Amino acid sequence: MSDTDGKDAFRPVGEDRRLSSIDERLERLQASEAERKGQGVSASADPNARMANRVLADLIGGIAGGALLGWLVDRWFGTSPWGFLILLTLGIVVAFRNIFRIANGAAAASRQPDGDQ
């Protein structure tokens, strides 16, 4: 394995042109496949996707928050089921109010020309 003078008997192998050519072709194919599937564009770049996520979060958060707070009030004060029902209804009302505000803001923004913002 080693020569008598202490050097390694194996020579370092230079980079093979065939391997670099395969790597380049593979990178090009992966880039074209990602472009074809639309993976190059992130979902966060789409303003409609951001708005949909915000609407969904407001809806789920309002309903779940109202239900959780109502359940806690019922457990602490023994007012079952009135605390739950009242706070769940309040959570639903707040969630829909937020959704209407988001929709009205989006409608107003779409009516404005791009230069007037």
- Looking at the DSSP assignment, which residues form a beta bridge with residue 2? 8
Supply the range of the domain harboring residue 86.
Answer: 44-112
More confident residue, 75 or 36: 75
Q: Are residues 24 and 64 in the same domain?
A: no
pLDDT at 21: 84
Q: Are residues 49 and 102 in the same domain?
A: yes
- Looking at the DSSP assignment, which residues form a beta bridge with residue 8? 2
Sign of the Cα torsion 58, 61, 67, 70 reads negative
Residue pLDDT, tens place only, 25-62: 889 999 888 888 876 555 556 888 899 999 999 999 99
Burial class of residue 76, CB neighbours in 10 A (0-12, 13-18, 19+) = exposed
Q: Are residues 73 and 30 in the same domain?
A: no
Q: How far apart are the first and last CA of the chain?
A: 74
Q: Are residues 50 and 107 in the same domain?
A: yes
Q: Are residues 92 and 49 in the same domain?
A: yes
| pTM for the whole structure | 0.57
Residue pLDDT, tens place only, 88-114: 999 999 999 999 999 998 888 878 766
